[in-house]
Structures are given as structure tokens and as C-alpha cells.
């Protein structure tokens, strides 16, 4: 890029933290699997190529410990995740079948325990930076794996970093709002907090009763103390930007006004983009990013996470763009010349024309208005800003020093800036050459 096409100065002064681990980009679910961690490396290349590292602090998070992950997941399930490998899977298959491991969507692959420790560690650390007041927005594109249950892997998700991140936020904040933009319903997070009035879940997704995971109807609203604290926006296939923005903003505004969250977790699954291999919507990258911009406008501490997204060149575009939104920076449409520049042809732009203006959508304004009305009625039964007394905050898992085992705050990057990653240390080239990432990881067969 020449000087005229460089990012403009930020429009806001939010303190943004960005969590990334090089190794996560080099892992692989196996040949032909639609989930490709290489998308994380592509995203990171664009983030650095656009110079966005100049507007935020970048950290390499510690991998989550077994103790941290067991804050949500069962001990026997975690033990299975730690022990199973491609080499011993045949011997363990019968005993771990109940955990959903080894199924087509959740295969056993090399180094998977390490991979999911990185995902969870990023979200826990992001939550800690928000809760401690060190950041206003915290980004972890490695996270957002919303289908994992307490003892079951599902939908490419083995550990639920989102739940772990929310549990960390609840140490600091009275109320946490979870918002899910993935085309698939955020069932794992909803289930985890279905009986809680301190966490409200809002998922906007495709729903016809059969589309995976088959949940997320308007009737799913919570139980017990959590009754009416689960909000679902079930949409039909083919929804476009205008309709998507209207229903999202109407519902999100009502939810925030009523629930008055102290913190927000925003899952930005990019499979809701038009043209995604597993998606069904007609939403553009700018349209997806507009939801991030809208949530940011409330000025509430926000954790921004990844999620689904299977046309990976568009996932990288989307998350790089949304990183710029979080930073308040305007980036040019022309893509920076990164190592992987050729994968973005033939247009080589940040905002290619993904949507189909002539595509039929049954999401009429009347049908969306019915959904909005149902949700407004549901929210009438929600206690306004429920009063929850927070006692002394217990030791944070993210403050646990895994080297010496002591509970101690370790913000060494803040106390000693020299420990913070510098631009010349950003691993934007090495990840592509890993033996675990084949050339076909970057191409989408359909």
C-alpha cells in the first residue's frame, strides 16, 4: 500500500487488546475437514499488513490449564481430551464415544488438546484484561467455539472457551450479555447459562428445525431464575444486509436497554457471510461488521471472539475488517501485500461482492416484526438490571502463574513494556510453512 491507502487515525480511544498464538494457526482437523485453523494465520497477516497492530496491544496468551478448563467441563471429559490421540484412538474409541470424540464433525487430530488450551486461554485472558480495567475491548479470534457442551464435543467445538470467558467476567461484573452472530445457534453457551439471570444469551441464526444444531426457536427462553434470559432470533435462509441489520439492531437495543449488561461477549462467527461453505445467509462483510460497530457504540466492555466460518479467505477478510472496527480505524479496500496475497484473487480487495441481490429471502419485514414483537414481550418479564451482590473477587484463573503455581497477578507486559510483542516479532510468515498445514488448507473446493 502507498501512503494514500494507509489506515486513517482512530476515531475513538478504546484500549484494545488482541490475543493470538502462532501455533494455533498451524493445527489441522484433518484433510477435507471444513474447519481450518489456517484462517487464523490469514487473519493475522491482514491485521499486521493493515498496520492495525499500531492501534492495539498484542499478546500471546498462556494456554489454559486443566483446572481452568474444568471450571466448566467435566473431569472425565477433559481427561479423555488430554489422553486421546490419532495413534491410540482405536483402543479408546469405545470408551470415549459418549463424549462425541471421533465423530465426523469432531475427529481426533494431532495436538488437539494443545489447540483447545490455546483457544480457552485466549478467552480467559481477554476476560481478565476487561475485568481488571486494562482493556475496553479484547479480541480473540481463536475463540468462539460455541457448540461444546459440558461433556460432549459438537459441531467442530471440543471446549467452550466462551463459557470459560464468561465465568471469568462474572468474577468482576454483575451481568454479562452474550451475543452470537454465527449462522448456527449458540446452543452450548445457551445451555450453560439456561438457568441464570446474570447471563443473558442472544443468538441470531438460521433456524428451520433441521439446520444444525436444530435448536434456537423463539420458545427456548430459559428456566428457573434464567426464565426469559435466553433470547433467540430464528431467521430463514437468504436474509440480506438490510433485513439482518434491522432485526439485529432492534433486538439488541431492546436487550441492552432492559438487561443493562456490565460486559458483553460478542461471537462473530463468519459463516453468516454470503457464500460460506456451510452458511445460508446473504450478508456482506460490511454488513457483518456493522453489527460489531453497533455493539461497540454502547461503550460497554466487550470481548470479541471468532467462531464458525468455512470459506476461509472471507473469514480472514471479515475478522481483519472487524478488528479495524474495534480499533476505530478506517482501512482501504485494497488488500495489503501479504505472503498469502494470491489467495484473495481475482479481486484482491477487503470487500468483494459476495451477496446476490436477486436471491429470494422469506424474511419479510412482517415476519421479522413478529419476531421482534415476541422478544419485546419476553423482555417485559425480565427484571430490570437485577441486583446481584458481588462479594470479594476470588483468585482469577487467568492470574494463575502456571510456572510456580502461586496465585499472583502477572501483567508483565503492562509493567514491563519490553516484554510485549513487537512488530518485528509478529509471526506472519512462519505459520504457513508448518508441516501440519498443506496447500489445500487455503483453498475452498466449493
- pLDDT-derived band at 171 (thresholds 50, 70, 90) equals very high
- pLDDT-derived band at 1 (thresholds 50, 70, 90) equals low
Q: How far is CA 236 from CA 147, 218, 275, 284, 336, in A?
A: 20, 13, 16, 17, 36
Please report, in range form, the residues annotated as the binding site.
105, 155, 182, 184, 271, 310
Catalytic residues: 147
Model confidence pLDDT, tens digit, residues 120-170: 999 999 999 999 999 999 999 999 999 999 999 999 999 999 999 999 999
- DSSP states along 390-404: --SPPPPGGGB-TTT
Q: Average pLDDT in the 94-117 region?
A: 96
CB 17 within 8 A of CB 139: yes
pLDDT at res. 388: 55
Length of the chain: 446
Residue 212 pLDDT exceeds 70: yes
Residue 368 pLDDT exceeds 60: yes
Q: Regarding predicted confidence, which is higher, 33 or 13?
A: 33
Q: Average pLDDT in the 352-356 region?
A: 96
Please report, in range form, the residues annotated as the binding site for a divalent metal cation.
182, 184, 271
Q: Average pLDDT in the 230-246 region?
A: 98
Which run of H or E residues covers position 246? helix 241-259
Q: Average pLDDT in the 215-235 region?
A: 98
- pLDDT-derived band at 389 (thresholds 50, 70, 90) equals low
With a pLDDT cut of 90, the percent of the chain lying above it is 82
Record the pTM: 0.88
17 - beta bridge partners? Answer: 57, 138
Residue 296 pLDDT exceeds 50: yes
Q: Average pLDDT in the 241-259 region?
A: 98
Residue 239 pLDDT exceeds 50: yes
Own/partner long-range contacts of 2-11 (Cβ < 8 Å, ≥24 apart): 5/332, 5/334, 6/51, 6/332, 7/50, 7/51, 7/52, 7/55, 7/324, 7/329, 7/330, 7/331, 7/332, 8/329, 8/330, 9/329, 10/55, 10/327, 10/328, 10/329, 11/328, 11/329, 11/330
Mean pLDDT in the chain?
A: 88
Residue 412 pLDDT exceeds 60: no
pLDDT at res. 14: 84
* Strands 199-206 vs 230-235: parallel, antiparallel or unpaired: parallel
Q: Average pLDDT in the 3-22 region?
A: 73
Residue 325 pLDDT exceeds 50: yes
Please report, in range form, the residues annotated as the binding site for substrate.
105, 155, 310
Question: Of 17-21, 394-398, 400-404, which one has max mean pLDDT?
Answer: 17-21
The span from the CA of 390 to the CA of 381, in Å, is 24
Residue 441 pLDDT exceeds 50: no
pLDDT at res. 165: 98
pLDDT at res. 384: 77
| Strand, coil or helix: 118 | helix
- Locus of grid cell 484473495: 344
Give the CATH superfamily of 3-442: Histone deacetylase domain (3.40.800.20)
Nearest to 199 by CA among 77, 303, 325: 303
Residue 105 pLDDT exceeds 50: yes
- pLDDT-derived band at 71 (thresholds 50, 70, 90) equals very high
Q: Average pLDDT in the 75-80 region?
A: 98
pLDDT at res. 399: 40
pLDDT at res. 386: 54
Strand order in the sheet with 16-19: 57-59, 16-19, 137-140, 302-305, 263-267, 176-180, 199-206, 230-235
pLDDT at res. 193: 98
Model confidence pLDDT, tens digit, residues 413-433: 334 444 334 434 433 333 333
Q: Average pLDDT in the 231-255 region?
A: 98
Which run of H or E residues covers position 244? helix 241-259
Q: Average pLDDT in the 301-323 region?
A: 98
- DSSP states along 25-55: GG--S-TT-S--THHHHHHHHHHHHTTGGGG
231 - beta bridge partners? Answer: 202
pLDDT at res. 273: 98
Q: Where are the domains of the chain?
A: 3-442
Residue 400 pLDDT exceeds 50: no
Residue 86 pLDDT exceeds 60: yes
Amino acid at each position: 500500500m502507498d501512503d494514500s491507502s494507509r489506515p486513517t487515525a482512530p476515531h475513538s480511544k478504546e484500549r484494545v487488546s488482541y490475543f493470538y498464538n502462532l501455533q494455533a494457526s498451524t493445527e489441522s482437523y484433518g484433510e477435507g475437514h471444513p474447519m481450518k485453523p489456517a484462517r487464523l494465520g490469514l487473519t493475522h497477516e491482514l491485521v499486521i499488513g493493515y498496520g492495525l497492530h499500531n492501534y492495539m496491544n498484542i499478546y500471546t496468551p498462556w494456554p489454559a490449564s486443566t483446572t481452568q478448563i474444568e471450571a466448566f467441563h467435566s473431569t472425565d471429559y477433559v481427561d479423555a481430551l488430554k489422553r486421546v490421540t490419532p495413534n491410540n484412538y482405536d483402543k479408546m474409541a469405545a470408551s470415549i464415544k459418549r463424549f462425541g470424540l471421533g465423530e465426523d464433525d469432531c475427529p481426533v487430530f494431532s495436538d488437539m488438546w494443545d489447540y483447545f488450551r490455546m483457544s480457552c486461554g485466549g478467552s480467559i485472558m481477554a476476560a481478565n484484561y476487561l475485568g481488571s480495567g486494562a482493556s475496553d475491548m479484547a479480541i480473540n479470534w481463536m475463540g468462539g467455539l460455541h457448540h461444546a457442551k459440558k461433556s460432549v464435543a459438537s459441531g467442530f467445538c471440543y471446549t467452550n472457551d466462551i463459557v470459560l470467558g464468561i465465568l471469568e467476567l462474572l468474577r468482576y461484573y454483575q451481568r454479562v450479555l452474550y451475543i452470537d452472530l454465527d449462522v448456527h445457534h449458540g446452543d452450548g453457551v445457551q445451555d450453560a447459562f439456561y438457568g441464570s439471570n446474570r447471563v443473558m444469551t442472544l443468538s441470531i441464526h438460521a433456524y428451520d428445525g433441521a439446520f444444525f444444531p436444530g435448536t434456537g426457536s423463539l420458545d427456548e427462553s430459559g428456566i428457573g431464575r434464567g426464565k426469559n434470559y435466553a433470547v433467540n432470533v430464528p431467521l430463514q435462509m437468504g436474509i440480506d444486509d438490510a433485513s439482518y441489520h434491522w432485526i439485529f439492531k432492534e433486538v439488541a437495543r431492546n436487550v441492552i436497554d432492559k438487561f443493562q449488561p456490565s460486559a458483553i461477549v460478542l461471537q462473530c462467527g463468519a459463516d453468516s457471510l454470503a457464500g460460506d461453505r456451510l452458511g445460508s445467509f446473504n450478508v456482506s462483510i460490511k454488513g457483518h461488521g456493522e453489527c460489531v460497530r453497533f455493539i461497540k457504540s454502547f461503550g460497554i466492555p466487550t470481548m470479541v471472539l471468532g467462531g464458525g466460518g468455512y470459506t476461509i479467505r472471507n473469514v480472514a477478510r471479515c475478522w481483519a475488517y472487524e478488528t479495524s472496527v474495534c480499533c476505530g480505524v478506517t482501512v482501504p479496500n485494497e488488500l495489503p501485500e501479504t505472503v498469502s496475497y494470491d489467495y484473495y484473487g481475482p479481486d484482491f480487495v477487503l470487500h468483494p461482492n459476495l451477496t446476490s441481490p436477486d436471491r429470494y429471502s422469506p424474511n419479510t419485514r412482517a415476519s421479522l416484526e413478529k419476531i421482534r414483537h415476541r422478544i419485546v414481550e419476553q423482555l417485559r418479564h425480565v427484571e430490570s438490571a437485577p441486583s446481584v451482590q458481588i462479594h470479594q473477587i476470588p483468585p482469577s484463573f487467568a492470574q494463575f502463574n502456571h510456572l510456580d503455581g502461586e496465585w499472583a497477578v502477572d501483567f508483565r507486559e503492562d509493567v514491563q513494556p519490553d516484554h510485549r510483542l513487537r512488530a518485528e516479532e509478529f509471526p506472519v510468515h512462519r505459520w504457513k510453512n508448518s508441516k501440519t498445514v498443506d496447500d489445500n488448507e487455503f483453498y475452498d473446493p466449493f
